[in-house]
Amino acid sequence: MKVAVLDIKGKDTGRKVDLSKDVFGIEPNEHAIYLDVKQYLAHQRQGNHKAKERAEITGSTRKIKKQKGTGTARAGSIKSPVFRGGGRIFGPRPRDYQQKLNKNVKRLARKSALTLKSKEKAITVVEDFNFEAPKTKDFVAFLASLGLENKKSLVVLSGSNNNIYLSSRNLERSEVVTSSELNTYKIVNAKSLVLTESALEGIESNLKK
C-alpha cells in the first residue's frame, strides 16, 4: 500500500512510501490486541490500595458489654467490623498487577493494530520536521494543515525532539511519542496516526524481526 508523503504544511511532496505488508497488511488478530491493551492498562495501576482490618485498628480491646442478657448480638471488641470505626472485612491489600505477555504476542498485537489503522486509512506520513522553538501555536497549525485539529491524534517521531514534544504537551487530543515508545494501546486509542518518514522506517525494521 502506497501512501503520499506530506510536508509540514500538509501539502503533497510528490513522493510516496510503500507500507510494508508484513507490518501494515497482515491478518489482524483482535485477541492479541485485547491481551496487549489489557496488560498495558494493568501496568498503569499502582496497586498500593490498602484498608485497615480489625487487627490493625487502634482501639480498646475491652469487652464492650456483657455476653448475655442484653437482647442484642454478642460483641467482644469495639474494633469489630460491624461497628462504626471498626476494621473492614476483606478490605483491599497492596498487590502487584503485573501481567506476563510473550514478545511475539505483543509484536503481533502492534502489527494488527497498525493494519487496522491502515485499513481505516487513518495513517498519514509526513517528512521529518522540527520547530525552531517550543510553540504550541506551531504544533496546532501543523495539525490543522493535516485536518486533525479536532481529532485524537498520535504523532510518531524517530527519536526524541524536545521542541516538538513541548509544543504538543498542552494539547489534550494529541500526543507525541518516539517509534520505540509506540505501543498497541496508543495506536488503538488514537483516531489518526501521523508518522514521520524516519519513524516509519524504524517501526518497520523493529516489527519485521
Cell numbers at residue 63, please? 469487652
Do both 136 and 182 map to the same domain? yes
Indicate which CATH number applies to the domain containing 133.
3.40.1370.10
**Whole-model pTM?**
0.84
Do both 36 and 103 map to the same domain? yes
Do both 70 and 151 map to the same domain? no
With a cut of 70, say whether residue 209 has pLDDT above it: no
107 with 207: CB under 8 angstroms? Answer: yes
For the chain, where are the alpha helices, taking DSSP H only? 21-24, 30-43, 103-119, 136-145, 162-168, 184-189, 197-207
199 with 157: CB under 8 angstroms? Answer: yes
Provide the mean pLDDT of the chain.
93
Q: Which of 76, 96, 116 is the last residue of a domain?
A: 96
pLDDT tens across 89-140, in order?
Answer: 999 999 999 999 999 999 999 999 999 999 999 999 999 999 999 999 999 9
Do both 190 and 124 map to the same domain? yes
pLDDT tens across 162-196, in order?
Answer: 999 999 999 999 999 999 999 999 999 999 999 99
Q: Which domain holds residue 116?
A: 2-45+98-207
Do both 181 and 144 map to the same domain? yes
With a cut of 90, say whether residue 149 has pLDDT above it: no
107 with 204: CB under 8 angstroms? Answer: no
